[in-house]
């Protein structure tokens, strides 16, 4: 009888140890490695074209791709075209918040609800299309992404160089 009770005690300890090891593994997989975290990648493509009247047609496409396992719930996106300025005593260029040429805030009520819910493996493209009278040789496009589920990510800032006139 003692062998059977010893075997039951060992099995109970092994069962408890297996449960503890499984729980630790789950914590590592789901919390520490952030398996179910939100993961995305964004990119920006810009172009412009000189129109006959001397104005410039400007197009910016900001793409957000969902690389994670959970849907991205986007609250809104802001795209701003602005001039460039150089810091005093520096060679670095920065966006000039005082020289904003165009701005678009999504959602703007024009058929965007589906773009704001990005499922895993999908992407959404947000565009800024505008006609500006004077487009400087260098300008910045500032893209701000706002999520419903977490803090604000860093602002995506892209540099655009004006096309040469034909």
pLDDT tens digits, the chain, 166 residues: what are they? 567 788 788 888 888 888 888 888 777 766 666 556 678 899 999 999 999 888 999 999 999 999 888 888 888 899 999 999 988 888 899 999 999 999 999 886 555 567 788 888 999 999 999 999 889 999 999 999 988 776 677 789 999 999 876 4
CA distances from 157 to 33, 41, 84, 86, 134 (A): 29, 14, 11, 15, 21
Q: Is the peptide bond before 111 cis (omega within 30 degrees of 0)?
A: no
**Share above pLDDT 90 across residues of the chain, in percent, rounded to a whole number:** 42
Contact 118, 124 (CB under 8 A): yes
Per DSSP, what are the bridge partners of residue 131? 57
Please give the model's pTM, rounded to 2 decimal places: 0.74
Which pLDDT score is estimated for 163?
85
User: According to the model, what pLDDT value does residue 102 have?
Assistant: 95
The full set of domain ranges for the chain reads: 1-35, 40-161
- State the pLDDT at residue 12: 85
Written out in words, the top-level CATH class of the domain with range 40-161 is mainly beta
Bridge-based pairing of strands 123-132 and 156-161 is: unpaired
CA–chain centroid gap for 125, Å, is: 11
Q: Tell me which residue has tokens 């096309």.
A: 163
């Amino acid at each position: 009888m003692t062998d059977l009770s010893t075997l039951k005690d060992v099995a109970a300890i092994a069962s408890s140890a297996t449960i503890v090891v499984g729980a630790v593994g789950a914590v590592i997989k789901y919390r520490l490695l952030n398996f179910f975290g939100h993961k995305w990648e964004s990119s920006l493509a810009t172009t412009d074209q000189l129109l006959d009247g001397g104005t410039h047609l400007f197009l910016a496409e900001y793409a957000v791709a969902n690389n994670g396992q959970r849907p991205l719930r986007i609250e809104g996106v802001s795209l701003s075209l602005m001039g460039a300025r150089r810091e005093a005593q520096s060679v670095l260029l920065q966006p000039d918040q005082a020289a904003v040429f165009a701005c678009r805030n999504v959602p703007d009520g024009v058929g965007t609800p589906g773009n704001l819910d990005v499922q895993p493996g999908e992407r959404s493209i947000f565009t800024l299309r505008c006609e500006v009278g004077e487009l400087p040789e260098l300008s910045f496009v500032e893209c701000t992404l706002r999520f419903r589920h977490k803090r604000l990510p860093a602002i995506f800032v892209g540099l655009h160089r004006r096309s040469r006139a034909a």
